[in-house]
Amino acid sequence: MIDGYRIIDAHGHVGSWQQYGMDDGLGGVLNGMDRGGVDVACLFNIFWGEASRGNDALAAFVRARPDRFVGFAFVTPHYPEEMVPELKRAVDRLGFRGIKIYPPYFDRPVSDPVWSPVFAFANERGLPLISHTWGGDAKCCPSLFVPLAERYPNVSWIMGHAGGTEAGRKVAVEAARKVPNLYLEICSSWRNPGAVEDLVSGAGADRVLYGSDLPLMEPRIHVGRVMTADLSEADRRKVLGENMARILKM
């Protein structure tokens, strides 16, 4: 917690990606969270071809500090027959509370029917679902999420990176204005001046979520983006944690 704000990170990873300096050691992850005032982080493990292996590694990580971490299940569309059984296992047995998908990672657009069972499962269970999004990417452009949000209304659709670039953010805001269950998560290397303010003024403070991409990117920088943005205190509180707490029913 920082200056009285409860902070929930909507976008974090577990796993190692050595060439980028990404290290998911518990101490390193908690150092950035603690010094940045982040109370809770939503995490997923997207690196293993065997989704269950990644989900098990994540479960062990969450078990180490269940007060600080929330697990999101990950599945791979390369093995579609495994997806729903693995989701059931991850939610019912591992205690995960959301789903992560990454369409360009698998070269499968979010509009590909292969994902439909995942979306139906999330809709049936009322789970949040976060996806990588990027403006101009035919596999995960924010505009592709509008019909999905309409078709699966019980899902809180979280657009990771909110379209990524300055141009992508404009597309993401337009998408969020069309449906009530699309959310904009802020993390990106494109930290343009005014980016957070634009998301809030465009889509409303209730629809913007703090996220960092930890431990690929430094959470304190993204906390700083919200803390130094020209927002009302009430809106800052929503973006930093209140909105995600509502989505997670925390």
Partner 1 sequence: MFKPDVPVFDGNAALGRRHDQRVRSDSREGVIAAMDRAGIGRALVHTPYAVTYDTQAGNRHLLDLIGGEARLAPQFVVNFTADAVEAFAKNVEGAGVRSLRAFPKTHLYPLTPWAVGEWGDWMAGAGVGLWASANEVEPRDLYDVASAWGGLRVVLTDVHYVHHAVLQPLLRGLPNLYVDLSRYDVPNAVERLVARMGPDRLLYGSAFPDLDPAPYLFYLHRCGFDRGTLQAICHDNLVRLLGGQA
Report the interface residues with partner 1, using CB under 8 A: 18-23, 28-29, 31-32, 35-36, 189-195, 214-225, 227-228
Tell which residue, 55, 122, 132, has the closest CA to residue 95. Answer: 55
Nearer to partner 1 among residue 36 and residue 77 (C-beta): 36
If the CB atoms of residues 51 and 216 are measured against partner 1, the closer one turns out to be 216
Determine contact, residues 145/175, Cβ cutoff 8 Å. yes
Write out the E strands in the chain. Answer: 8-13, 40-44, 69-74, 98-101, 128-132, 156-160, 182-185, 208-209
Residue placing its CB nearer to partner 1 in the complex, 58 or 227: 227
Tokens 């805001």 locate to: 173
Q: CB 230 → partner 1: shortest distance, Å?
A: 9
Sign of the C-alpha dihedral computed for residues 79, 140, 61 and 59 taken in this order: negative
Query: How many CB atoms lie under 10 A from the CB of residue 5?
Result: 20
User: Minimum Å distance from CB 10 to partner 1?
Assistant: 17
Q: For partner 1, which is the closer residue by CB, 95 or 224?
A: 224
User: Smallest gap, in angstroms, from Cβ of residue 227 to partner 1?
Assistant: 6
CB of 224 to partner 1, least distance (A): 3
Least distance in angstroms from the C-beta of 213 to partner 1: 8
Helices 80-88 and 116-125: angle between axes, nearest 10 degrees? 10
d(CA 150, CA 133): 17
CA atoms of 169 and 189, how far apart (whole Å): 13
Residue 23 Cβ vs partner 1, minimum distance, rounded to whole Å = 8
Q: Phi/psi of residue 75, each to 5°?
A: -135, 155
Helices (H) and strands (E) in the chain, counts: 10, 8
How many Å apart are CA 25 and CA 158, to the nearest integer? 26
- Closest contact distance (angstroms) between CB of 16 and partner 1 is 12
**Residue with Cβ nearer partner 1 (198 or 242):** 198
